[in-house]
């Protein structure tokens, strides 16, 4: 089974084609905290994650950091500014030890004109990403922090939840600070919220480690089933 099987960007290609595609790629491995690309770099390459977790973060001139998304195996990242012909406005940083393949813009052009399905896939992936961020934009604009944190956690469970006894564990390190940067709040507020959930038995969290004990209760906070406040 070829390493590119199961990647979103190359879905629809057969094995010989995947081999040709992979031949053009460069393989990169990064340890936690290291960068695949940095904010401000001229965008030259597009990445597809093979292993591990990568977070895409943006830093404001004032130094605030925002986590845009987490990328897992099979997903594409670093692509946006490449297509738009710009510099990276965000950085791609390994969260766990991670591995990815990367292609240059020119290589992607060749591949896409040879197999148009790749272009089709790219359009679809970007569209999905747009839908996702619009939803989060709307949440940020209209919902309070607790709900946003609940939503963010639910999303993490979906993307990276591993069932263990006692609940579902987010299977890579996530700090309070990270959750704050995902939801647009401070680590302090996140900490308070998690503490209150801990007391209610909904989660059980430690140092950069979050275990969700009652996923459906989390969802009911995220979606506000029955009641309004508290």
Partner DNA sequence: ATCGTTGTTTGATCCAGCGCAAAGAAACCG
Partner DNA sequence: CGGTTTCTTTGCGCTGGATCAAACAACGAT
Number of residues that bind its own copies (CB under 8 A): 40
Which of DNA, its own copies, none does 114 bind, CB closer than 5 to 8 A by kind? none
Tell me the closest approach of the beta carbon of residue 27 to its own copies, in angstroms. 24
Q: How far is the CB of 97 from its own copies (least distance, A)?
A: 27
Residue 119: Cβ within 10 Å count: 15
User: Counting contacts by CB under 7 A, is residue 184 touching DNA?
Assistant: yes
- Contact criterion met (CB below 8 Å) for 26 and 102: yes
Smallest gap from residue 215 Cβ to its own copies (A): 21
Instruction: Give whichever of 39 and 186 is closer to DNA, judged by the CB atom.
Output: 186
Contact flag: residue 42 with its own copies (CB under 8 A): no
Distance CA 230, CA 222 (A): 12
Distance CA(89)–CA(75), nearest Å, equals 19
177 touches DNA (CB under 7 A): yes
Instruction: Please report, for residues 41, 116, 175, the alpha-carbon distance to residue 36 in angstroms, rounded to integers and kept in the order given.
Output: 11, 27, 21
Decide if residue 219 touches its own copies (CB under 8 A).
no
Residue 124 interacting partner from its own copies, DNA, none (CB closer than 5 to 8 Å by kind)? its own copies
Give yes or no for residue 61 binding DNA (CB under 7 A). Answer: no
Q: 110: closest CA among 20, 15, 2, 3?
A: 20
Assess 140 for contact with DNA (CB under 7 A): no
- One DSSP character per residue, 200-221 reads TTSEEEETTEEEES-HHHHHHH
Site string for its own copies, 93-132 (x = CB under 8 A): -------------------xx--x--xx-xxx-xxxxxx-
Please state at what angle helix 176-183 crosses helix 187-199, rounded to 10 degrees.
Answer: 110
When binding is defined by CB under 7 A, the residue of 59, 145, 211, 219 that contacts DNA is 145
Among 208, 214, 215, 219, binds DNA (CB under 7 A): 208
Q: Show Cβ contacts of residue 210 under 8 Å, excluding neighbours closer than 6 positions.
A: 153, 156, 169, 170, 174, 194, 203
Which residues of the shown chain bind DNA in the complex (CB under 7 A)?
A: 144-146, 175-177, 184-189, 191-192, 194-195, 198, 205-208
């Amino acid at each position: 089974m070829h390493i590119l099987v199961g990647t979103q960007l190359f879905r629809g290609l057969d094995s010989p084609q995947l081999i040709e595609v992979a031949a053009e790629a460069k393989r990169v491995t990064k340890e936690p905290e290291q960068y695949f690309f940095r904010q401000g770099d001229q965008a030259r390459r597009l990445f597809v994650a093979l292993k591990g977790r990568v977070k895409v973060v943006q830093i404001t001139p004032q130094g605030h950091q925002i986590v845009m998304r987490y990328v897992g195996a099979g997903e594409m990242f670093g692509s946006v500014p490449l297509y738009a012909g710009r510099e990276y406005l965000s950085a791609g940083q390994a969260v766990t030890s991670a591995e990815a393949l990367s292609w240059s813009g020119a290589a992607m052009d060749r591949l896409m004109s040879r197999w148009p399905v790749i272009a089709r896939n790219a359009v679809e992936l970007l569209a999905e990403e747009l839908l996702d961020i619009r939803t989060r934009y709307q949440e940020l604009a209209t919902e309070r922090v607790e709900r946003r944190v609940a939503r963010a956690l639910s999303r993490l469970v979906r993307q990276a939840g591993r069932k263990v006894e006692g609940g579902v564990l987010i299977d890579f390190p996530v700090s309070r600070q990270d959750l704050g940067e995902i939801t647009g709040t401070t680590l302090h507020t996140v900490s308070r919220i998690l503490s209150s959930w801990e007391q209610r038995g909904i989660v059980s969290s430690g140092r950069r480690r979050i275990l969700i004990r009652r996923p459906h209760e989390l969802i009911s906070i995220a979606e506000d089933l029955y009641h309004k406040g508290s």
